[in-house]
Copies of this chain bind each other. A is one copy, B any other.
């Protein structure tokens, strides 16, 4: 709806630029800034390194900072009062996290492995955003993307079986993993099984078991504990989309609650929709 601002950072960054050598300089929001703007922005924050397990912020604490991930993978999670944890999502290099309109962080952010970030005081970040509409548009576009992703995950958690969730996740992870052209798709899984389980709303034993099933069905191959390759991508896509041909009970997966009460809608809607785009 709102076009993301075109990249403005064509000029090469020189050695004295604070973002010199930054792996995400062109990615994400930073890419929307001119060289000098970027430098000014960068100087409002500081760089930090995180070890595996370090927490950036805790759910419920004041949201005083926002973070830009340069390297590694972060885990965003929420807790129920009795200790049940759910992983809302993972953040990858280039992602901004901790950006919220609330006063408190809505979730805990931790490193699943060694990571590097830039960290900006919220007030200065907000002020900078307000002064740079192109940056603001990108931020909006990122929020819109996050929203679409979150709603897709709602579908995953609300209606997919364990093996379908896992297939969906593995396919997602291939998009986050560097691919070798011509070779079967790889998925690196930098987080422990428990994190994947808490992300997919199942227990880690289930992740192990269903990985085993995918393996025995020849859909994937385990390279290492934290790396798989997709052997039969088409079958994986079908499985993830909820269009599997079940092995055991052929009648189990037929239509459940389809019920679309009335197709697109009578005359009125068709006329209205077709009539005017712009």
Which of chain B's residues have a CB closer than 8 A to the CB of A153?
A: 154
A121 with B276: CB separation less than 8 A: yes
Q: Using C-beta atoms within 8 Å of the partner chain, give the interface range for chain A.
A: 35 or more
Query: Contact string, A134-164, partner B, CB cutoff 8 A, digits 1/0?
Result: 0010011101111110110111011110000
Copies in the complex: 2
B83 with A258: CB separation less than 8 A: yes
Interface residue? A85 (CB, 8 A): yes
Interface residue? A201 (CB, 8 A): yes
Which of chain B's residues have a CB closer than 8 A to the CB of A260?
A: 55, 58, 108, 110
Interface residue? A277 (CB, 8 A): yes
Which of chain B's residues have a CB closer than 8 A to the CB of A126?
A: 1-2
CA distance A1 to B144 in the complex (A): 15
Query: Contact string, A103-129, partner B, CB cutoff 8 A, digits 1/0?
Result: 000111010000000010111111101
Q: How far is the CB of A258 from chain B (nearest CB, A)?
A: 4
Query: Can you list 11 contacts pairing A with B, beta carbon distance less than 8 Å?
Result: A1-B129, A2-B130, A54-B265, A80-B160, A81-B238, A86-B155, A88-B155, A106-B151, A143-B143, A143-B147, A147-B147
Given A52-B261, A82-B244, A123-B277, 10 further pairs, Cβ under 8 A: A46-B272, A78-B151, A81-B238, A81-B241, A83-B254, A85-B159, A124-B278, A147-B150, A157-B158, A158-B201
Closest 10 CB pairs of A and B: A123-B278, A80-B242, A83-B255, A53-B261, A81-B243, A158-B201, A157-B157, A150-B150, A83-B258, A86-B158
